[in-house]
Amino acid sequence: MNASSTEDDSRAVSEATEFLVLLLDDPENTSLHAKIQRWRKADATHDAAWRGMVDIWHLTGDIGPVLLPLERASIGQPRNPVFRRRRILAFAGAICACGFTFLFRNDIRLSVLSDYRTGTAENRMVQLPDGSTATLGARSAIALHYTSRQRQVSVLAGEVFFNVRHDSTHPFVVLAGKMTARDIGTRFDVNKSDDRIDVAVNEGRIGLNYGIQGATTERQMLAGDLVSINVRSGTVTQSHVNPSEVGSWKEKRLTVSDATVYSVVETLRRYYPGFIVTYGKGLDTIHVAGSYDLTDIPGALRAVAAPAHVSVREIGSRFLLISAKSS
């Protein structure tokens, strides 16, 4: 699948998801049904994305009364199993392009590159060769690069809490993309996703660089400092949190005092054995505070949604749809 077709599939899946959200809100809207029909007929990719959405809906165990009015002509007719398999495979590829690469393509990459990694809803403490520890959150991976002069750990994916054994003669350095964090005797957390890197200090002090190889000027971070890096724009912002919140996920409970809905959902996604799809704008600007149970992701999402004007829909047992409510 080339880059252009992947982008087309990704866009089609996003639009199909948008139509699904609108139908769930207004299932009897005949003009919306007609609009979806026109959209499907306009491009074969659109129709494949919609049929893939219907297949996933049915696989969750729901007949899909919202979707049936659009599908009467085809649901009652036998389908060629070869074409159906191809459509499901194509849709799975589009889902990968829309943000589920960790579960598919990245899984292979991480298994090759990492020294330690975790699965869905799995936390794991690792004893490092120097006596320091690294606690990996769910769906996380690290690679070790220890030499006679330096201790270095790369965070390849997910979230890792470091409890560092200080040794001034052998610096402890953590890499995450273009970010470098140098320990100056500390306990700190690094959270890496495709578009964002967060670094927070629980105790002690670190020196942080971003995007400048070999730079001598470091951003000094103390307990409670949180630095967020937008990977796409390069924007770096600093805020302050309660130090006790840093690494709270290690106890299977996520505690935040001022976090965006988007960042909370990103963490919860790693603990959910299914698909969490976000839709709509504004989830990265809505802030929430609370303590959320990482062993009950649907319940945690509802707790996030209640004060944030965010809608949570549970479709079957393995599909959660999160969207900002219309004002």
Domain ranges of the chain: 3-103, 115-248, 252-327
Per-residue model confidence (pLDDT) at position 110 = 80
- Res 239: pLDDT: 92
pLDDT: is 74 or 15 the higher one?
Answer: 15
Q: What is the pLDDT of residues 116-136, one digit of tens each?
A: 999 999 999 999 999 999 999
Measured at the CA of 214, the angle between CA 209 and CA 216, to 5 degrees, comes to: 65
Q: What pLDDT, on a 0 to 100 scale, did the predictor assign at position 325? A: 63
**How many Å apart are CA 225 and CA 220, to the nearest integer?**
9
- pLDDT bracket for residue 106 (50, 70, 90): low
Q: Top-level CATH class of 115-248?
A: mainly beta
- Report how far residue 93's alpha carbon sits from residue 13's, in angstroms, rounded to the nearest whole number: 10
Of 135 and 327, the one with more pLDDT: 135
- The chain-wide mean pLDDT, for the chain, equals 80
What CATH number does the domain located at 252-327 have? Answer: 3.55.50.30
Q: 124-141 burial string, b = 16+ CB within 10 Å, else e?
A: eebebeeebebbbbbbbb
Residue type, 268: L
Task: Evaluate whether 160 touches 202 at the Cβ level (below 8 Å).
Answer: no
Q: What pLDDT is recorded for position 9?
A: 61
Judged against a pLDDT cut of 50, whether residue 260 lies above it is answered with yes
The pLDDT assigned to 125 comes to: 97
- For the chain, state the CA radius of gyration: 22
Q: Which residues contact 212 (CB under 8 A, 6 or more apart)?
A: none
pLDDT at 10: 62
Q: In whole angstroms, what is the distance from residue 163 CA to residue 177 CA?
A: 21
Nearest to 206 by CA among 236, 233, 171, 237: 171
Range scoring the smallest mean pLDDT among 136-150, 170-184, 207-221, 271-285: 207-221
Q: What is the pTM of this model?
A: 0.72
Distance in angstroms (rounded) separating the CA atoms of residues 80 and 95 = 23
The alpha carbon dihedral of 263, 268, 274, 278 has a sign of: negative
Residue 80 has pLDDT above 80, yes or no: no
- Taking only the tens place, the pLDDT of each residue in 4-59 is 555 566 677 777 777 776 776 677 788 888 898 899 889 888 888 887 776 665 55
For residue 24, the model assigns a pLDDT of 66
